[in-house]
Each structure stands twice: as structure tokens, then as C-alpha cells.
Amino acid sequence: MMTTILAFAILTATTVFVLCSLRTVARDTFVALTDAAHRLRYGGNPAAKLCFAVLWVMIFALSYFL
């Protein structure tokens, strides 16, 4: 019971921290995605990098849904 209460407290605190800094999280995510897209477009061998990214998305999606 105490472990459940502690887990919910940590979950609540983490949610509050993320929601308080949602603008910063969104901005940092946007910057990371635009930088990754820029490197993918102008870097060498974009097909291999895209396939690698799709592989990781598939791994995370399958581990989440299965």
C-alpha cells in the first residue's frame, strides 16, 4: 500500500513538473526534430538514417503495444 502511494506521488509530481514547463518541453522537442530533419536532409546517406529511425520507432511501438 505504501509503495502504491509513493508511486502515485512520484507520478503526480512528475506530471506537475512537465505541465509547468510544457512550453519549454514543446520548444526543445521542436528544435530537436528540426535539427534531426536538417541533418537527415543534408547529411550523408539519408536512406540508411531514415531506416534506422524507423527501426527504433518499430521497436518502441511493438514493445508498447505487445
Give 34-57 pLDDT, tens digit per residue: 998 898 888 878 888 889 989 999
Average pLDDT on 25-30 reads 92
DSSP 3-state assignment of 66? coil
At residue 7, the pLDDT reads: 95
Position 4 scores a pLDDT of 92
pTM of the model: 0.52
What is the rounded CA–CA span in Å between residue 41 and residue 33?
A: 12
- How high is the pLDDT of residue 34? 94
Contact 26, 33 (CB under 8 A): no
What is the residue-averaged pLDDT of the chain?
Answer: 89
Please give the pLDDT value at position 57: 92
